[in-house]
Amino acid sequence: MRILVINPNTSDGITATIVAAARSAAPHAEILGAHPSRGVTSVESHTEEAWATIGVLEQIELAESGESSPDAYVIACFGDTGVAAAREAASVPVVGITEAAVFTAVTLAHRFAIITMPPRTIAQSDRVVEALGIAHRCTVRAVDVAVAEVEEGSAHLIDAFIGEAQLAILEDGAEAIILGCAGLADLVEPLSGRLGVPVIDGVAAAVAFAAGLAAQGLMTSRRGAYGVVGSAPSAAELLR
Amino acid sequence: MRILVINPNTSDGITATIVAAARSAAPHAEILGAHPSRGVTSVESHTEEAWATIGVLEQIELAESGESSPDAYVIACFGDTGVAAAREAASVPVVGITEAAVFTAVTLAHRFAIITMPPRTIAQSDRVVEALGIAHRCTVRAVDVAVAEVEEGSAHLIDAFIGEAQLAILEDGAEAIILGCAGLADLVEPLSGRLGVPVIDGVAAAVAFAAGLAAQGLMTSRRGAYGVVGSAPSAAELLR
Amino acid sequence: MRILVINPNTSDGITATIVAAARSAAPHAEILGAHPSRGVTSVESHTEEAWATIGVLEQIELAESGESSPDAYVIACFGDTGVAAAREAASVPVVGITEAAVFTAVTLAHRFAIITMPPRTIAQSDRVVEALGIAHRCTVRAVDVAVAEVEEGSAHLIDAFIGEAQLAILEDGAEAIILGCAGLADLVEPLSGRLGVPVIDGVAAAVAFAAGLAAQGLMTSRRGAYGVVGSAPSAAELLR
Amino acid sequence: MRILVINPNTSDGITATIVAAARSAAPHAEILGAHPSRGVTSVESHTEEAWATIGVLEQIELAESGESSPDAYVIACFGDTGVAAAREAASVPVVGITEAAVFTAVTLAHRFAIITMPPRTIAQSDRVVEALGIAHRCTVRAVDVAVAEVEEGSAHLIDAFIGEAQLAILEDGAEAIILGCAGLADLVEPLSGRLGVPVIDGVAAAVAFAAGLAAQGLMTSRRGAYGVVGSAPSAAELLR
Amino acid sequence: MRILVINPNTSDGITATIVAAARSAAPHAEILGAHPSRGVTSVESHTEEAWATIGVLEQIELAESGESSPDAYVIACFGDTGVAAAREAASVPVVGITEAAVFTAVTLAHRFAIITMPPRTIAQSDRVVEALGIAHRCTVRAVDVAVAEVEEGSAHLIDAFIGEAQLAILEDGAEAIILGCAGLADLVEPLSGRLGVPVIDGVAAAVAFAAGLAAQGLMTSRRGAYGVVGSAPSAAELLR
Amino acid sequence: MRILVINPNTSDGITATIVAAARSAAPHAEILGAHPSRGVTSVESHTEEAWATIGVLEQIELAESGESSPDAYVIACFGDTGVAAAREAASVPVVGITEAAVFTAVTLAHRFAIITMPPRTIAQSDRVVEALGIAHRCTVRAVDVAVAEVEEGSAHLIDAFIGEAQLAILEDGAEAIILGCAGLADLVEPLSGRLGVPVIDGVAAAVAFAAGLAAQGLMTSRRGAYGVVGSAPSAAELLR
């Protein structure tokens, strides 16, 4: 089984961290990583999401046209940027890290919290929370850190996450914490140890979920929302 | 007052219809129309929405850099494609035709229905309905017609819309009907006459709303979700 | 175009403030103001709302029977007191200031807050928030000030509003603030300046919206909820 | 224990039917009936609700000022017209027939339906359903009959109710039926017999509930929404 | 009229407190108390709920087979443990104390709070709140006290409840307080006196409600969710 | 990796079908099956759920005390009977087939439907749908077939499922179908072929999800809702 994890920003460093996190969660799958050939260095604004979506489509086109196309895709950006479009373009299932992290939290805890970064991306998390209808059990909080700060690892962010997670536990009754950004896998163990509650990395959750979809032989429905891509030209050509 | 109405698809015909509809709803404003220089001929899939969003950003960049930039923008695509990104890129308010049509229906009727086209775009309408939280009063239905069929006018679609609207009235208790596609302004009068309920065109609703925002001197909040565009390169350059 | 703004309480001072706020938001419309001939000096309780609703109906009857009846009505009381009844009685569209303020906030911000006064009127704001389904994006807060204190202007209330608005921004993630009372237009500029987020006056929002409805030639649906007034006697006669 | 059942319309016949229904549901309480001295013959529109609310307040003022004021009030109009204002004006608890009918259905069935009359009053039922948050279990349907037709009894309406109730059972999965109008107590037994599911009369449900509140010695909260009536003049004086 | 109040835990002390509270709320009914012959000393975990449900069924089987079976049952455990199963097993209506407390609060206050104990049972309260759809008006809080501490009375818990209730009033806008555990009836008067808002005991609320259902002659619907018990063996036999 | 799939009813035949379905979805895991030593032959009523929950706990106690305890549990009963209690009793994650089927549908389709059996179990599906908050995308339908009919395989049920699924597709806009009962794996391929949309078996979905949780090394949160089991005696002892 082969899973392609697409990082919608153009950072090699974050892509490498993501792929490493992915590998530990799907020991029986071959994990490949990719990022757009051109685009944005981090995905925080809706405008950056527009670029990132084109980049995700480019990487799916590339993977689909290759000899050994994957059995499932994971889109590794909190807010699940480009996932709906990817479902149309891909011939196999597509999983977003936000939705997968929420599914995982639901099975481990009654109430839980997403801690995203930076604060302006709360809207992107809210968007997924509303699409899933889980707001009655999931609060969204943020630490004031730019995604770029994760490029070289996330260990230096632990105190900021501890602080916000403790507020989530005390004020929101959170019983588990979702890390609201790809590239934070390094924080799972230390945070979980210090907080005493499960800490969920969306990349690991999504890769595990995608492996499960592929094992079941399921495919995105072509009836309705995720039918064919329509009149859209090739994304790869656009980004050339 | 100057309002730029951006049609996210590349059809000259639909853009002309949209601009005409817009003019009648804001008699004291100068209405300008635009469409992306490159992109998709209709916006029905999520992939087409990705392209259309880049196209919307291109047109906003162009308008903002001109001598006489507008006082407000209207994005004329059902599903409000690209509206969030447009709010970041624009220096003045941005209104989507779906949200504006819903606001309008709320003030005229207790329950109402969107009739969109084709059926696969129900997901895009649902997305706006959920973001607004109005599902308890608004049902979403569809007629099985491609957007391209509107290029030359919409008069031939009246029977399809009558049929679905009557179902909405009888089964959903709809007291008003929202036309779920830009470029259907021709249907407002005949449909309203035959159905005996208000029929709302999102383009007219959005232009009227945008004029009101501009008159109040209000601006998109820069705190939180709609802050600056971030690291995204110029869309115009991409589409060149 | 002529818009009649009805202040449901009997205060001349507040009516004058409201009319002034209305004028700036609809420069091309003739703005008229009115208040009930008899009733309550402020609308804070549900009992006062009962009186105010009769008063709103009285003013609509009066306006409809005149030679130059308006093209739209605005009901200028937070909580949208009497709006549903007004829709039945009026031959043209009716807009409430609460609903219009919410529509406006939705297009400028992802999350926002209403700051109403006094605290007991939170229920009235909640009523509109629930009717619109917007609770997932809108919190309701209150300052402990009686409506009567606005009679001579609202400048002295700025610190109270600043305090509560800052809590809304920090704790609720509000990106825009709605002033939860008619007659607070004086606060828009200073509050917006000090908070750094859009501040919305419902009167201005509603007048702009009403002008837009009138420009579109739309009418309240007579099918269903807002049909004819039924067996109710004249309100004017009652208040005589 | 003394319970005053207020019929918000001015019909002696319907008041008598309501009082009879009330008596059977609270065998240990003294049931008194009242209706406004002036107002509307039926409450179907929002405008009629405005009048009915004043009438409810009039009757509460009258009862409160008497020697033997009641221990609880029931407001016998579907849509719970005037209940919030009545809570302010009354010194003892106030129960609406719609809310009480819903509470009752919740304890007898998983999903259930309100069948109201005429169709335009669906909005009034929806208002209570939304205030209670029970839309996920309760659908609202209507038969096309005017309230006035109940004046002389409701036996002739049984086929209309059977028809709509069967649709509710088959299409909505309703396991119990709420009669959506006061004055339909005659229908409870025959409908229940023919449908094979519980049929709930709001008047009986509300009187039973009000008796329970009085037995517990509970009072409407004076903190927040239902504080004192404020500046409102006497309703009795208005209707004189 | 005879009402059997079943305490799902095996504590004689708590059962006695519950029966006493029940008696004062239904002066015209004969109140009987019961608890499982075997089971758990308190119901705080979902596992304890599993046992308690079997115990509730055992007591209903016992009561139904006796000569003088009751006219209604009350299940006296916050979270309404076993109520759905009890509705299948019983030949007369069954009321949970949580649902009844919420109905009561709804008629006395706009917003209100449950204060349960210990914190882990928040999930059980949330379950009822979601089933009723009342989360928009009801917050759930907890004091960190084990149910066992109530065995000898609850007077020593008053300060803990005062503290949390005041937070509910100030931060959540609660206008009434629901005591989130059976066996706390002693707290109603002192808490209500000190807080100045209604304080609701679920046992009293449920007994009053059950008496009302019995007076109306209503029965649990046998269509759908609460049909016959199916293939389940006798619970009494299991617990022997 | 070892996953124990617990069938909460006592049927050997259904347990065997379930284990077979489970094996295909987690090719790298050892799948074990179990059912209660005593209990009910099918789980359709809430009373049967009470028994089934005790049976699930019995099997977890047994597995936990063995030498080779599993890495995750799947509870294979639609409605996720006993899952919350199982989370307390188990030292490793527990997944319900209903929740897992919903997660799976969410990633493959915008709107989807559960088709459960028999109709009375709609309440159990609704319970999970509400706990997950997914009612805006998921409808619940039923075929009128008893669970016992699945004992010998499900091929004879295909026409009943086709009929209801087609209604879901046409009337609800369903783009994928969830089989609302364990033991229906045989229907996945023929149904999917004839309907042209993904058909999801909860057992396969849950086993795949459980394998993913185990691979991530995650554990049920012990803070809050799923803390220790408390005072409950051994379930195994009860069922002896």
Same fold yes or no, E2-96+205-224 and E98-201: yes
Per-residue pLDDT, D233: 84
Per-residue pLDDT, C227: 93
Q: For C9-51, what is each residue's pLDDT tens digit? A: 999 999 999 999 999 899 899 999 999 999 999 999 999 999 9
E66: tokens are 């006796």
Residue A144 near chain C (CB below 8 Å): no
Range list of H helices, chain B: 12-25, 46-65, 83-89, 97-108, 122-132, 158-172, 188-195, 202-216, 235-239
Would you say residue F240 has pLDDT above 80?
Answer: no
Q: For B40-65, what is each residue's pLDDT tens digit? A: 999 999 999 999 999 999 999 999 99
Mean pLDDT computed over B99-119: 97
Give residue F236's pLDDT band: very low, low, confident or very high (50, 70, 90).
confident
Instruction: Please give the residue of chain B at the shortest CA–CA distance from D119.
Output: B173
Chain C contact probe: residue of B98, B104, B170, B223 with most C CBs at under 10 A: B223
Measure in Å the smallest separation between the Cα of D203 and chain B Cα atoms. Answer: 26
- Where is average pLDDT lowest: D66-70, D85-89, F204-208? D66-70
Mean pLDDT computed over D189-204: 97
Q: Does domain A2-96+205-231 have CATH number 3.40.50.880?
A: no
Residue D173 near chain F (CB below 8 Å): yes
Q: What strands, in cross-sheet order, belong to the sheet with E2-6? A: E30-34, E2-6, E72-75, E94-96
Q: For F121-130, what is each residue's pLDDT tens digit? A: 999 999 999 9
* CATH T-level assignment (fold) for domain F98-200: Rossmann fold (3.40.50)
Q: What strands, in cross-sheet order, belong to the sheet with C30-34? A: C30-34, C2-6, C72-75, C94-96
Q: Who wins on pLDDT, E229 or D176?
A: D176
Would you say residue D181 has pLDDT above 80?
Answer: yes
Contacts of B137 in chain F (CB under 8 A): none
Residue C129 near chain B (CB below 8 Å): no
C-alpha A154/C-alpha A183 separation (Å) is: 8
Would you say residue B210 has pLDDT above 80?
Answer: yes
Cβ B112 vs Cβ B175: under 8 Å: yes
Instruction: Describe the crossing of helices A97-108 and A202-216 by its angle, rounded to 10 degrees.
Output: 90
Per-residue pLDDT, A140: 97
Unique residue bearing structure tokens 């691979």: F215
Per-residue pLDDT, B14: 92
Instruction: Please give the residue of chain E at the shortest CA–CA distance from A171.
Output: E141
Angle at D21 between CA D17 and CA D24, to 5 degrees: 145
Give residue F69's pLDDT band: very low, low, confident or very high (50, 70, 90).
very high
Q: For D99-120, what is each residue's pLDDT tens digit? A: 999 999 999 999 999 999 999 9
Per-residue pLDDT, A183: 87
Contacts of E157 (CB under 8 A, 6+ apart): E143, E145, E149, E150, E184, E187
Number of CB pairs, chain B paired with chain D, less than 8 A apart? 11
**Domain spans of chain D, in order of start:** 2-96+205-239, 98-201
Neighbouring-strand partners of residue C138: C112
Query: Which CA distances in Å does F223 have to A110, A111, A156, C103?
Result: 10, 10, 26, 40
* CATH T-level assignment (fold) for domain E2-96+205-224: Rossmann fold (3.40.50)
Residue A108 near chain E (CB below 8 Å): no
Number of CB pairs, chain A paired with chain F, less than 8 A apart? 163
Measure in Å the smallest separation between the Cα of F79 and chain A Cα atoms. Answer: 14
Would you say residue D238 has pLDDT above 80?
Answer: no
Contacts of F240 in chain E (CB under 8 A): none
Q: Who wins on pLDDT, D28 or A152?
A: D28
Would you say residue F90 has pLDDT above 90?
Answer: yes
Residues comprising chain C, all counted: 240
* CATH T-level assignment (fold) for domain D2-96+205-239: Rossmann fold (3.40.50)
Cβ F204 vs Cβ F151: under 8 Å: no
Residue B16 near chain F (CB below 8 Å): no
Mean pLDDT computed over B91-107: 98
Per-residue pLDDT, B240: 74
Instruction: Please give the residue of chain E at the shortest CA–CA distance from A175.
Output: E120
Average pLDDT, chain B: 95
Contacts of C119 in chain E (CB under 8 A): 173
Q: For F123-175, what is each residue's pLDDT tens digit? A: 999 999 999 999 999 999 999 988 888 888 888 999 999 999 999 999 999 99
Residue B224 near chain A (CB below 8 Å): yes
Q: Coil, strand, or helix at residue A53? A: helix
Contacts of E69 (CB under 8 A, 6+ apart): E2, E63, E91, E92
ipTM: 0.97
Contacts of D118 (CB under 8 A, 6+ apart): D44, D142, D143, D144, D145, D146, D147
Measure in Å the smallest separation between the Cα of B240 and chain C Cα atoms. Answer: 30
F180: tokens are 């609302």
Chains in contact with B via at least 3 Cβ–Cβ pairs below 8 Å = A, C, D, F
Give residue F230's pLDDT band: very low, low, confident or very high (50, 70, 90).
confident
Spell out the per-residue pLDDT of chain A, length 240, in tens.
999 999 999 999 999 999 999 998 988 999 999 999 999 999 999 999 999 999 999 999 999 998 889 999 999 999 999 999 999 999 999 999 999 999 999 999 999 999 999 999 999 999 999 999 999 999 999 999 888 888 888 889 999 999 999 999 999 999 999 999 998 999 999 999 999 999 999 999 999 999 999 999 999 999 999 998 878 888 888 787
Would you say residue F120 has pLDDT above 90?
Answer: yes
Interchain contact, C136 vs A130, CB within 8 Å: yes
Q: How many CB atoms lie within 10 A of CB A189?
A: 11
Give residue C237's pLDDT band: very low, low, confident or very high (50, 70, 90).
confident
* CATH T-level assignment (fold) for domain E98-201: Rossmann fold (3.40.50)
Cβ D105 vs Cβ D178: under 8 Å: yes
Per-residue pLDDT, F229: 80
Percent helix, strand and coil across chain C, each to the nearest 5: 50, 15, 35
* CATH T-level assignment (fold) for domain F2-97+205-239: Rossmann fold (3.40.50)
A222: tokens are 């072509």
Per-residue pLDDT, A145: 87
Chains B and E touch (3+ CB pairs under 8 A): no
Per-residue pLDDT, D230: 79
Percentage above 70 pLDDT, chain E: 100
Would you say residue E240 has pLDDT above 80?
Answer: no
Among the listed residues C168, C175, C111, the one whose alpha carbon sits nearest the alpha carbon of residue C142: C168
3-state secondary structure B190-224: HHHHHHCCCEEEHHHHHHHHHHHHHHHCCCCCCCC
HSE-up of C112 (CA within 13 Å, CB side)? 27
D239: tokens are 């209707």
Would you say residue F206 has pLDDT above 90?
Answer: yes
